[in-house]
């Protein structure tokens, strides 16, 4: 494979972020895009100078030039499109969630295995240098065994009852919203750092706005439509909540999610308390890792690839002091994923979230919803159960 040709499905916030990040990789070409209508696909293709556009997913998948497909559509389309892509034998990078149910995601895992393709899910927060560094410190036992973990994923883009987006529509989003949309990132990132799965949960979720005012017409993620014509709709999915978790080695933890916390834009944090040190990371200040100690001064590691063992200069595009942000995390994910594509069928790189990881997150979300409904601890199904 000389130049790897990529097809993008979708035209929203995530599709645009994928296109931008892919454009920063060597040897990769964004060769085609598809959307629900030919007009939409054409408009985005022109905007981003993408050579080919299609008004149907099937046409894009059939294009023999395309090696890899990124699924950037709304959630309810993920399973059907992922299935078609895998059946075609092309490599797949899907936006999360992988599917609407864990039954569907299990089927996708089996299909990917039978086709021997590289299949990943876009859990991008693993791919910051200081998250990798936190993982290395924990895995090497630098601060001893982990006692307790806590954290947050807070946003405010759904604060008002006039804020609306397809994610509020259960049919298009799935039953869980704040947990599936952002809580899933917290779980994936922390499980990655600890290298341990969450096996049991106790959740307490809340819908702050059971009735919202939906503007007439489509509203993109993170955009607000202001005071236009609207209709009242019932919302069943959670705006916020807390979840206590147990990891497979018995470590206890808790995280909170909210999409209605004024002033919090994309506040994903984790704090891992180990025997002799506590590691704290915040996505809104991603180039620092705080290390708290009791008997010595606290430390703040700053992102400097010449000093970080887990994300050395060879992997980093920018030297220390040249700040990295959200688009870079996505780009780092793609570097890792495409390394696997280049070395497929025996991929040499596996720090991206695989289709199996995506399936586990589906099982985890279902356990969280069940726990909230039944107000009790619920075990997370694991593996191919």
CB 135 within 8 A of CB 195: yes
Query: If binding is defined by CB under 6 A, does position 239 make contact with ligand SOE?
Result: no
Query: If binding is defined by CB under 6 A, does position 361 make contact with ligand SOE?
Result: no
Which residue in the set 182, 289, 368, 369 belongs to the binding site for ligand SOE (CB under 6 A)?
Answer: 182
CA dihedral 16, 288, 243, 364 (to 10 degrees): 50
Among the residue ranges 34-42, 180-188, 286-294, 338-346, the one whose residues contact ligand SOE (CB under 6 A): 180-188
Total of residues contacting ligand SOE (CB under 6 A): 7
Query: If binding is defined by CB under 6 A, does position 221 make contact with ligand SOE?
Result: yes
Task: Please identify the residue of the shown chain whose CB is closest to the bound ligand SOE.
Answer: 181
Token pair of 2 as six digits? 């000389």
Query: If binding is defined by CB under 6 A, does position 181 make contact with ligand SOE?
Result: yes
The span from the CA of 121 to the CA of 338, in Å, is 13
Instruction: Indicate the residue among 84 and 126 with the shorter CB distance to ligand SOE.
Output: 126
The span from the CA of 173 to the CA of 90, in Å, is 25
Q: How far is the CB of 185 from ligand SOE (least distance, A)?
A: 6
Query: If binding is defined by CB under 6 A, does position 137 make contact with ligand SOE?
Result: no
Token pair of 311 as six digits? 């994300």
The span from the CA of 110 to the CA of 249, in Å, is 27
| Three-state secondary structure call for residue 287 | coil
The span from the CA of 199 to the CA of 304, in Å, is 35
Query: If binding is defined by CB under 6 A, does position 155 make contact with ligand SOE?
Result: yes
Instruction: Indicate the residue among 181 and 238 with the shorter CB distance to ligand SOE.
Output: 181
Query: If binding is defined by CB under 6 A, does position 176 make contact with ligand SOE?
Result: no
Instruction: Indicate the residue among 50 and 179 with the shorter CB distance to ligand SOE.
Output: 179
Among the residue ranges 19-27, 131-139, 177-185, 363-371, the one whose residues contact ligand SOE (CB under 6 A): 177-185
Q: CA 212, 216, 221: angle at the middle one, nearest 5?
A: 70
Other beta carbons less than 10 A from residue 308's beta carbon: 21
The span from the CA of 35 to the CA of 56, in Å, is 6
CB 251 within 8 A of CB 194: yes
Among the residue ranges 50-58, 178-186, 199-207, 242-250, the one whose residues contact ligand SOE (CB under 6 A): 178-186
Using CB under 6 A as the binding rule, the residues of this chain from 263 to 302 that contact ligand SOE are: 266
Q: Which residues lie near ligand SOE (CB under 6 A)? A: 13, 155, 181-182, 185, 221, 266
């Amino acid at each position: 494979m000389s130049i790897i040709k990529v097809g993008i499905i979708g035209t929203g916030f995530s599709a645009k972020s994928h296109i931008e990040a892919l454009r920063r990789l060597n040897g990769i070409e964004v060769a085609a895009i598809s959307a629900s209508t030919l007009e939409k696909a054409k408009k985005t293709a022109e905007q981003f100078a993408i050579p080919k556009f299609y008004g149907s997913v099937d046409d894009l998948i059939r294009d023999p030039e395309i090696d890899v497909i990124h699924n950037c559509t709304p959630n309810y389309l993920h399973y059907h499109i992922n299935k078609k892509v895998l059946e075609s034998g092309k490599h797949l990078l899907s936006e999360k969630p992988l599917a609407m149910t864990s039954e569907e995601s299990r089927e996708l895992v089996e299909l990917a295995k039978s086709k021997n393709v590289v299949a990943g899910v876009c859990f991008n927060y693993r791919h910051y240098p200081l998250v990798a560094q936190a993982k290395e410190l924990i895995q090497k036992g630098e601060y001893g065994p982990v006692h307790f973990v806590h954290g947050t994923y807070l946003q405010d883009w759904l604060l008002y009852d006039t804020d609306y987006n397809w994610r509020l529509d259960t049919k298009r989003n799935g039953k869980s919203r704040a947990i599936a949309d952002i809580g899933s990132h917290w779980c994936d990132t922390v499980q990655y750092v600890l290298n341990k799965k969450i096996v049991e949960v106790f959740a307490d979720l809340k819908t702050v706005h059971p009735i919202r005012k939906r503007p007439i017409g489509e509203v993109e993620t993170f955009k607000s439509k202001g005071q236009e014509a609207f209709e009242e709709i019932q919302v069943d999915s959670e705006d916020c909540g807390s979840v206590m978790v147990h990891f497979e080695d018995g470590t206890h933890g808790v995280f909170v999610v909210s999409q209605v916390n004024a002033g919090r834009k994309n506040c994903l944090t984790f704090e891992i308390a180990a025997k002799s040190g506590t590691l704290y990371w915040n996505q809104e200040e991603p180039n620092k890792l705080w290390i708290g100690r009791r008997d010595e001064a606290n430390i703040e590691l700053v992102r400097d690839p010449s000093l970080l063992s887990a994300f050395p200069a060879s992997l980093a595009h920018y030297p220390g002091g040249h700040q990295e942000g959200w688009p870079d995390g996505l780009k780092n994910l793609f570097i890792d994923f495409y390394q696997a594509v280049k070395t497929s069928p025996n991929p040499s790189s596996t720090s991206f979230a695989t289709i199996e990881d995506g399936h586990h997150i589906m099982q985890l979300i279902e356990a969280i919803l069940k726990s909230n409904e039944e107000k009790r601890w619920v075990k997370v199904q694991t593996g191919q159960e």
